[in-house]
Amino acid sequence: MSTKILLSLICLWPLAALAEAGCELRGTGDLGVVVERASGSLEFIETTHDRLRGRVEGLGDLSHASVVYSRDGRYAYVFGRDGGLTQVDLLCRRVVKRVMQAGNSIGGAISQDGRLVAVSNYEPGGVRIFDARTLDPVAEIPAEYAPGRRSKTVGLVDAPGNRFVFSLWDAGEIWVADMGDPAHPRVRRFKGIGKQPYDGLITPDGRYYIAGLFGEDGMALLDLWNLDAGVRRILPHYGRGEQRLPVYKMPHLEGWAVAGRRAFVPAVGHHEVLVVDTDDWSLAGRIPVYGQPVFVMARPDGRQVWVNFAFPDNDTVQVIDTRDMRIVKTLKPGRAVLHMEFEPRGEAVWLSVRDRDLIQVYDTATLGLVKELPARKPSGIFLTDRAARTGL
C-alpha cells in the first residue's frame, strides 16, 4: 500500500467513525440549542435554513439553565438548576456525559483555553471546576466569607488569562480566580462592593467586570487590567427620588449591550434602560421602555438594542435605535418572551415565546417575522458563535 493511500485512509477514519455513530459530517458554526425548560430537553436548531434538527432529553431541571460551548463549537455544556452539568454533542445530538455536581446551580463558564468548565452554585455556595473533556472534578472554590458561612455565587464569567470572576450574593464581594494551576486556584477577594450583587458581566474586550446590585442602586466595576485599583462604584443613586417598583423578575446583565462608547443596561425596579458612557462609566441617559427590562441585548453591529420585559409585560419586545436613542418598534410576540439571541452577523434574531410553545425568528432590517418553529416551553437560546466570545 502506498504512503499516499495510507495517509488518505488515516485522514478518513475519524469521518467514517462519525458516520458509523450516526453523527453528521458538517461544521457547527450555524448551529445552536434552545432550552425546553418544562421537559428538561434541548432542541437543536440551525440558522442557515431556520429549522429544527432534533431533540435530546433527560437533562433534569432546566428552569434556569444556561449553556456554553467548547472551543470548536461541537460540544454544549448545559448548567441545570438542579446542579446537573451535562455535555452534549451537537453533531451526534446526544448526551456525552452528565454529572450531578451540586444541589442548586446558577450558570457556568468555560475557560479561555477551553480546558476547564466552571459551575456557579447556590448550594453549597461556591464554584466547582471540571475538566472540559471528561467532566472529571479538578478543583473547588468554597464561597466561605466568614467561618462556617458560605454565600450563593452569581455572575460567573470567564476572563482573559484563564481566570474566572464571580460575585457573592450574601457577602457583597467579587472574587477573581486565577486558574494558572487548575488544581490550586489562586483567589483574590474584593470586599464591600455593595449589597446583594445579583448578576455580573464582562465587557466584550475582557477588561471590565461589572456586578449589578439588587440591595441598592448602582453597580460595582472592577478593572481586570488593574486589580490593585480595587472596585469602583458606578451609577450611584440612579433611582434617587423615584418610587421603586416591585421586581417580578431579576434583570440579566450577561446579555448586556455595547454600542460604540455607550452601554445599555436594565434598571432594577424601573421602566428604563440606562445608557452608560464607557469612557468614564457615567450615566449618559435614560430611555423609558414598556416595562421592567430583563434582557437588554445589542445587535452585533451595535445599531439596535432589543429589550424584553418581566411579568406582566412579558408579551412585548421593544427595539431601540442606538444612533437616535429612541424606540423604533414595539413587537407583541406573545406571552412569556424569555430570551433573545442574535445570529452571528446580526441579520436575524431568535426569540423564545414560552406560553405559545414557539420559537420566532425576526429579520432585524425589516423588523418583520420570518419564521415560527414549535418548541416545548422554550427559554434560553444559545448559538455556537458564543464559543469565540468572552463571557458568554
C-alpha cell at 237: 443613586
pLDDT of residue 213: 87
229-257 per-residue burial string, b: 16 or more CB within 10 A, e: under 16: eebebbbeebbeeeeeeeeeebbbbbbbb
Regions of the chain with pLDDT less than 70:
1-21, 239-256
pLDDT of residue 267: 87
C-alpha cell at 64: 434556569
User: What Å distances lie between residue 245 and 48, 248, 268, 274, 275, CA to CA?
Assistant: 41, 9, 9, 16, 20
Nearest to 351 by CA among 325, 329, 328, 332: 332
How do the domains of the chain map onto residue ranges? 101-249
pLDDT of residue 21: 64
Pair 154, 135: CB distance under 8 Å: no
pLDDT of residue 56: 98
Give every CB contact of residue 166 below 8 A, 6+ residues apart in sequence: 120, 127, 153, 154, 155, 156, 157, 174, 175, 177, 200
Quote the CA–CA distance of 13 and 42 in Å, as a whole number: 30
- pTM, 2 dp: 0.92
3-state secondary structure the chain: CCHHHHHHHHHHHHHHHHHHCCCCCCCCCCEEEEEECCCCEEEEEECCCCEEEEEECCCCCCCCCEEEECCCCCEEEEECCCCEEEEEECCCCEEEEEEECCCEEEEEEECCCCCEEEEEEEECCEEEEEECCCCCEEEEEECEEECCEECCEEEEEEECCCEEEEEECCCCEEEEEECCCCCCCEEEEECCCCCCEEEEEECCCCCEEEEEECCCCCEEEEECCCHHHCEEEECCCCCCCCCCCCCCCCCCCCCCEEECCEEEEECCCCCEEEEEECCCCEEEEEEECCCCEEEEEECCCCCEEEEEECCCCCCCEEEEECCCCEEEEEECCCCCEEEEEECCCCCEEEEEEHHHCEEEEEECCCCCEEEEEECCCEEEEEEHHHHHCCCC
C-alpha cell at 123: 448550594
CB atoms within 10 A of CB 5: 9
Q: Which fold has domain 101-249?
A: Methylamine Dehydrogenase; Chain H (2.130.10)
The DSSP bridge pattern shows strands 137-142 and 231-234 to be unpaired
Pair 56, 50: CB distance under 8 Å: no
Quote the CA–CA distance of 357 and 39 in Å, as a whole number: 12
Quote the CA–CA distance of 273 and 279 in Å, as a whole number: 18
pLDDT of residue 188: 98
Quote the CA–CA distance of 310 and 295 in Å, as a whole number: 9
Q: How many residues would you count in the chain?
A: 392
pLDDT tens digit sequence for 148-185:
999 999 999 999 999 999 999 999 999 999 999 999 99
User: What Å distances lie between residue 392 and 56, 206, 256, 270, CA to CA?
Assistant: 22, 11, 11, 26
Nearest to 127 by CA among 111, 113, 114, 140: 140
